[in-house]
Amino acid sequence: MSDKARLVQAIIAALEAELALITRAALSARDEAIDEESRPENPYDMHSQEAAYLAEGQARIATEIREHLDHYRTLDPASLRTREPIAVGALVTLSPRSGPSLRTFLGPRAGGLEIPDPDGSILLITPASPLGRQLLGRHLGDEIQLPGAKSANRLRVSRID
């Protein structure tokens, strides 16, 4: 199994754990909303209604996570090959002029997730993110500018896997 295939499996595992957690939270909020103890005591008592809103929001998040999982479970292994220009499926190392490098995986969904790795963590970004938009189509050696006008915010594409 390639490093990127292991990375995708780690992303799936992290999303499954997140889904299990949010599902338990949604079920707990739903149970609280329909519990006899949550019946309004007066017209201003909103406890059960707040619990119902919370359960609904958590159910929406669970649906989004399921969609993210579907994208990663059906990710075409051919899309994970090393290639330039940078596209979805690229594992990109960005190096500042000084300081530690940033390792990112340009995935189809679930941006912001950090996946532990023996060499440090890998930040999952998407083409819709500001960083993802800047990376799409770039090549080895290209520079990008992170938000802000400081030259310290410039990163060079130092590796593409």
pLDDT value of residue 26: 86
**Rounded CA separation 84/9 (Å):** 23
Q: Spell out the domain ranges in the chain.
A: 3-75, 82-160
For the chain, 161 residues long, the average pLDDT of each consecutive 10-residue run is 81 96 88 72 72 86 94 81 84 88 91 88 93 92 79 81 85
Second CATH level (architecture) for the domain 82-160: Roll (3.10)
- pTM for this one? 0.82
pLDDT value of residue 41: 72
Q: Dig out the tokens for 33 from the structure.
A: 């909303």
Q: Is the dihedral of CA 148, 151, 152, 158 positive or negative?
A: positive
Contact 113, 65 (CB under 8 A): no
Amino acid sitting at position 155: L
